[in-house]
Amino acid sequence: MSDRGIKVTFSTGELSPEQVANIQYSFQKAGFLAFSPDPFATHELEEIDKLKVEFTDTGKPPSQRLRAVIYRMWEQNDEGYKTFHDYYSAKMEILIEHFKGKLT
């Protein structure tokens, strides 16, 4: 892939409705994949069960999230700006100056 990642595709045999529901529940969520050519030992399964996901991906990079928040601000109070572009530019300039002021 363009980000040097890989895409892995899985095929299954017929699944039970419960298995399909579990897959649907996990759609677009972060998780773990464990693979072993041999059945997992009990201690390995216990270690897998202890794993916790500490990843929260909203699907958007932080810059897009910030832009969306600024857009919502403009929708709620345009502060006299006729276009979102002008509003966005002004708010970004305020943020840039704020962080430039923190530079040594």
d(CA 18, CA 50): 23
27-82 pLDDT tens trace = 877 778 888 899 999 999 999 989 887 766 567 788 988 999 999 999 999 999 99
- For the whole prediction, is pTM greater than 0.85? no
For the chain, what are the domain ranges?
A: 62-100
Give start and end residues of each alpha helix (H) in 3-41. 17-25
